[in-house]
Chain A
């Protein structure tokens, strides 16, 4: 039987506010336990929540970025359950009326492969604290610093059909939230967490299969692995004559497997109801317009502009707009290189990105500024250096030896374009290698490369390759 996978993602993006969603406690990461938990975060008797303005602005921004409906009226609800990291015995979330409604995102899977994934909704809610299971004489320690940190839960439609698409979608949302500055996207610190709803169905069948939800995945690599594992597991279950049960599962990265966390029968009855301590959130058209005017250029728009302004293909443009910083870097390179857009794209996606990868660096940490790289590209385009020599220059600049011009100057890398000089070098080489010359002239064309090599060796690679070719051809011909 042929199987089709159906995947929907719920992404929790921690909003980059200074204070918590309902209290004035700091949201800074890494503080000593419970030092950023005030009476509201700890759910003390008689304390009350007041909504953070920035959290609302950020939700509106996401709504605009995914072209979603932004609810003129949304309501906070209580999700009731008991857990030590949930101080009030309920989580303040949104249920029936979320702040952001239906939207969509576009994924560029390949040059001619575009997928549109629906976003069902996005709602504001508070994060829980952390239970630390290290042994405190057989007890669990509770740290409530994270309790009350604002989250935007972004829920997709079940529109993805394989792990690759799911990862591309998750990366897309990651890209968007970072572009619009509402989430730092730091996955190690838990700022961006994913739950995947996965089911399989026979190809051609319309009805969905029973789904399992894999909770709290905090890397794209794990997301891909978890989905692949889970899909195989479900197919094995069905093909083995069993049925998939609806349940919550956990992905264990060490063992690369998913395992049951909570079966549906044990699922909580959350008893959602409107939080009587909070009033309806009203968003006016003017609030939306204010956010719109503050919105940076969004990744898809930037990508399209790169395609049309710089003549890039869709795929390259998508790569270069992956993050706002990368896009800005690229644009600066193009400008410094006097509009050499394609050359700039090749260098940014090639040498630069390879060097960054080797060092495990982000574009933000590049030792080479966009202006420096652009300056070097100028020297390629005006024939001062060849592409090959440029790699040497690049490396020198990477190592902090200064700008392209000074590296070229110091190391004497300027290209030799004087035909007379090249001709005299060729003459010397022909004289020094009579055997090879004879063989070449008697038809061994392959030796042409040998002569090119000799010329380049003699000029330390600085001779203009095109000129070398032309001059060698005529000289060797006799």
Chain B
């Protein structure tokens, strides 16, 4: 599975990272190297092996349905780069 510059650009778009052509070239080399390392996995026969998403065999714990939070808007929105009238502002989104 060899990577092309267009793949790097596509991935960068999915990850919402702006990259210029030079960076794309650099990343192409680095990512290809990492994928080369990762390719060692191909040698292993994993037929019938259960994928392991968590290290421990635990189940999801459930929380009682209780409202435990109070309004912290002013404190939290103070950290937003741009806010007004209790709303977080971003450039206009057109739907």
Please report the C-alpha to C-alpha distance between residue A281 and residue B61 in the assembled complex, in whole angstroms: 8
| 30 A/B residue pairs, CB under 8 Å, sorted by A | A17-B65, A24-B63, A24-B68, A25-B67, A25-B69, A32-B86, A33-B85, A33-B86, A34-B77, A34-B86, A38-B69, A39-B76, A42-B76, A52-B62, A52-B65, A53-B64, A54-B65, A56-B62, A84-B93, A133-B94, A136-B85, A138-B92, A139-B82, A139-B90, A139-B91, A139-B92, A142-B89, A143-B87, A274-B53, A276-B54
Which size class do B's interface residues fall under? 20 to 34
Interface string of A46-80 (1 = CB under 8 A from B): 00001111111000000000000000000110000
Please report the C-alpha to C-alpha distance between residue A14 and residue B94 in the assembled complex, in whole angstroms: 25
B88 at the interface (CB under 8 A from A): yes
Q: Is the beta-carbon distance between B54 and A35 smaller than 8 angstroms?
A: no
Q: With contacts A33-B86, A33-B87, A139-B82 known, is A50 near B93, CB below 8 A?
A: no
Interface residues in chain B, defined as those with a beta carbon under 8 Å from any beta carbon in chain A = 14, 16, 53-54, 58-69, 71-73, 76-77, 82, 84-95
A279 at the interface (CB under 8 A from B): yes
Interface string of A221-264 (1 = CB under 8 A from B): 00000000000000000000000000000100000000001000
Report the nearest A residue to B76, measured CB to CB: A42
A271 at the interface (CB under 8 A from B): yes
Please report the C-alpha to C-alpha distance between residue A38 and residue B69 in the assembled complex, in whole angstroms: 7
Top 8 nearest A-B pairs (CB, nearest first) are A141-B87, A24-B68, A54-B65, A53-B62, A33-B86, A279-B60, A142-B88, A35-B71
* Residue numbers in B under 8 Å from A269 (CB-CB): 14
Interchain nearest-CB distance for A37 vs B (Å): 7
Q: Which of A19, A141, A276 contacts B88 (CB 8 A)?
A: A141
Q: Which of A75, A133, A271, A281 contacts B92 (CB 8 A)?
A: A133
Q: Please give the number of chain A residues whose Cβ is less than 8 angstroms from any Cβ of chain B in the complex.
A: 50
A23 at the interface (CB under 8 A from B): yes
* Residue numbers in B under 8 Å from A55 (CB-CB): 65
* Residue numbers in B under 8 Å from A50 (CB-CB): 61-63
Known: A53-B63, A131-B95, A269-B14. 8 other contacts (CB 8 A): A24-B67, A32-B73, A37-B73, A141-B84, A143-B87, A278-B60, A279-B54, A281-B59
